[in-house]
Amino acid sequence: MKVLLIHAKTFEYEARQKAVDTAEELSDSNKSGRAENVLVAFVTVEKGDSSDPEIVGKATGEIESVYKRVGASGVVVYPYAHLSENLAEASEALPLLKSIEEQLKVRGVRVQRAPFGWYKRFTLECYGHPLSELSRTIRPGEKPKH
Ligand SMILES: Nc1ncnc2c1ncn2[C@@H]1O[C@H](CO)[C@@H](NC(=O)[C@@H](N)CO)[C@H]1O
């Protein structure tokens, strides 16, 4: 699993067009979103990630750790198919993305999750401080390095 973490002063997205047949149904709560002082987690799920029962806990831990360090007010979990060539299928990817969202909520984090399977317009203003652009690779069977 690859995660790009951007601490954004403002972030806004809007689903525009279905990209895959397995696209998630849109609702008023997910077809668009906006947040300020938010950690945007662009997440690419890779083939085999679901083989590790700890993958969601590890990914959530990495995201929560940066969220706390930068003092963000919330997290956006943004499905993103562009950080790896080893893409998981929707049947593997979507459940993991939903579980990361739920795990963050359980940990008291205000979370939005952008819809899976859509081309989306987005605007992002990155703070530009030293921790405002980070990336993490979470490998099945391996302990996180950070
Ligand atoms: N393995 C995977 N991990 C995370 N997201 C994945 C995925 N496979 C498919 N998606 C989702 O389907 C859209 C089209 O590939 C993806 N859309 C996007 O990545 C938008 N930024 C438009 O390109 C994404 O929502």
Structure-token pair, residue 100: 């990361």
Q: Is the pLDDT of residue 121 over 90?
A: yes
Greatest distance between any 2 Cα atoms in the chain: 39
Q: Is the pLDDT of residue 75 over 90?
A: yes
Query: Residues 18-31: what's their mean pLDDT?
Result: 95
How much is the pTM? 0.97
Structure-token pair, residue 103: 């795990």
Contact 42, 137 (CB under 8 A): no
Contact 45, 130 (CB under 8 A): no
C-alpha 62, offset from chain centre: 11
CA of 63 to the centre of ligand 1 (A): 19
Atom in ligand 1 nearest the alpha carbon of residue 19: 14
Band of pLDDT at residue 144, cut at 50, 70 and 90 = confident
Percent with pLDDT over 70 in the chain: 100
* Ligand 1 within 6 A of CB of 81: yes
What was the ipTM of the complex prediction?
0.97
